[in-house]
Structure 1
Amino acid sequence: MQRYFLDDQYQGQETVLLSGDNYHHIVNVMRMKPGNDIWVVFNGGEAAKATISSLEDHTVKARIIGWEDRATELPVHVTIASGLPKGDKWEWVIQKGTELGTSQFVPFNADRSVVKWDEKKSARKLERWKKIAKEAAEQSHRQAVPEMHSPLSIEQLLVFSEDFHHKIVAYEETAKQGDRSQFARKLSGVKKGEKIIIVFGPEGGLTEREAELLTDNGFVCCGLGPRILRTETAPLYAMAAISYHFELME
């Protein structure tokens, strides 16, 4: 059943109105009619089953008939912070990372980032990233759309990370030195509801300067197994490991 995210808070209402992209998808893509059922997700994460009652000009009206009784969100909040990669790799990380349960995406301008952030195109880029995350959240039946941030500098990232309970940096030099257990040990110390931020480098990895800055500010360097992963693969590996640890081992 198709899922749609709303901008509204749930305040006891029995009907909901869907417009904009949601209206377009229901009417022009899915070709739905009155009587068809959908899932709607409120701002607070409440997910309701609703039956379409009418299709009006630019608005779909639906009546709530029940509530989702299972949790689809990770029991911990994970932020992926990645040095801006080339091409569409960041969009791939957003899409797949959303499916795997990431709560927040924060790109940053790393020393070895080939891509340079164009402020003139920033609004359009950010909207595209948000749309990718929303569509992936709908497809994977999540109860929240991940937050999206414009790129930060490494110094801004350090300030941003201050409020997290656990801070990890995936550093390939640590992996080359044979570390295979630090990441697992870190996850074992995380409690449900806590916030984790994991930093990944761009193509070429993080520089020694960046690694030192991060570790000097409370980050722990971890390897992600014996193989060196691409910049777009490493975040997904980490998210899969986190899901396994907190959801499948329960």
Structure 2
Amino acid sequence: MQRYFIAKEQFENNEVRLLGEDAFHAVRVMRMKAGDTFIASDGEQRVVLASVREASSTEVVAAIAEELPQNSEPSWSVTIAQALPKGDKMELVIQKGTEIGAYSFVPFQSERMIVQYDGKKEAKRLERWGKIAKEAAEQSHRCRVPAVEPVRSWRELVKSIASYDLVLFCYEREGDAAEGVGIRQALNSWSSNRGSDTSAPSVLLMVGPEGGFTEREADEAEAAGAIIVGLGKRILRTETAGIVGLTCLLYEAGEMGGV
């Protein structure tokens, strides 16, 4: 069933209203008419089943038929920190990361970035990335839309490491240590040091650019508290690494259903 994320102000009494692009999509793309149903969420506290009363390409008015449980969100809050990749690769990371269960995304600048960062275009990029996150959250029936944060410098990202319960730094080591410590090993070690704390953690997953992280960046991240991990024997593309790392994390957390 189609899901829409709408502003809290669009919930009024026992009705919800779809406006703008959402109304156009509902009527022109989904062909909704009176009596059809959809799911609406404010992205925070409410998820409802709504039945269309009136429909036009500019506004859809629907009656709230049922309050629905919010049970599609992972208990672990995993943020993907992705070094800015070239082209539209960031869009893929956001789309697939949202579908899998990422909590938020932090694009950042790194030494070996191929793309030239242009701060003047950031507002437009963030708007585009936010729209992709919203559409992916609707498609995958998330209860909230992951935030896409403004682009950070490397220094800003390193300073933020202390604010997370666990930080994993994806790094391709050379030679005999090419595989590095795996995510399962890192989680086991981290869990044993937590003692009796069983609360769901906030996790930062750091992914480098096409050229990978530098040794200096790895040293700085580790000194700030990050755990250096490998993602296996094969070299992954930058847009693949975060998706794989996120999937491994949520699998180990028991968040991938019956897989």
Alignment TM-score, normalising by the size of structure 2: 0.89
Shifted more, 49-58 versus 137-146: the winner is 49-58
Aligned length: 250
Aligned pairs (5 A) from 1:37-56: 37-55=37-55
CA deviation profile, 1:52-108 (whole Å, cap 9, x unmatched): 111257221111111333611111000000111111111111101110000111111
Alignment TM-score, normalising by the size of structure 1: 0.92
Aligned pairs (5 A) from 1:118-157: 118-157=118-157
Name the SS for the 1:228 alignment partner.
Answer: coil
Amino acid in the other structure paired with 1:159: K
Is 1:20 paired with 2:20?
yes
Partner of 1:234: 241
Is 1:247 paired with 2:255?
yes
Shift of 1:248: 4.0
Instruction: Mark the CA change 1:134 to 1:95 in structure 2 (over 3 Å): closer, same or farther.
Output: same
Is 1:95 paired with 2:103?
no
Structure 1 stretches of 5 or more lacking a match? none
Instruction: Mark the CA change 1:175 to 1:185 in structure 2 (over 3 Å): closer, same or farther.
Output: farther
Partner of 2:173: 173
Name the SS for the 1:233 alignment partner.
Answer: helix
Q: Is the 8 A contact 1:52 1:60 kept in 2?
A: yes
Amino acid in the other structure paired with 2:103: S
Amino acid in the other structure paired with 1:25: H
Shift of 1:249: 7.3
Q: Could you tell me how far apart the structure 2 residues matched to 1:209 and 1:85 are?
A: 20
Q: Could you tell me how far apart the structure 1 residues matched to 2:35 and 2:250 are?
A: 36
Q: Could you tell me how far apart the structure 2 residues matched to 1:155 and 1:239 are?
A: 23
Name the SS for the 1:240 alignment partner.
Answer: helix
Instruction: Mark the CA change 1:196 to 1:173 in structure 2 (over 3 Å): closer, same or farther.
Output: same
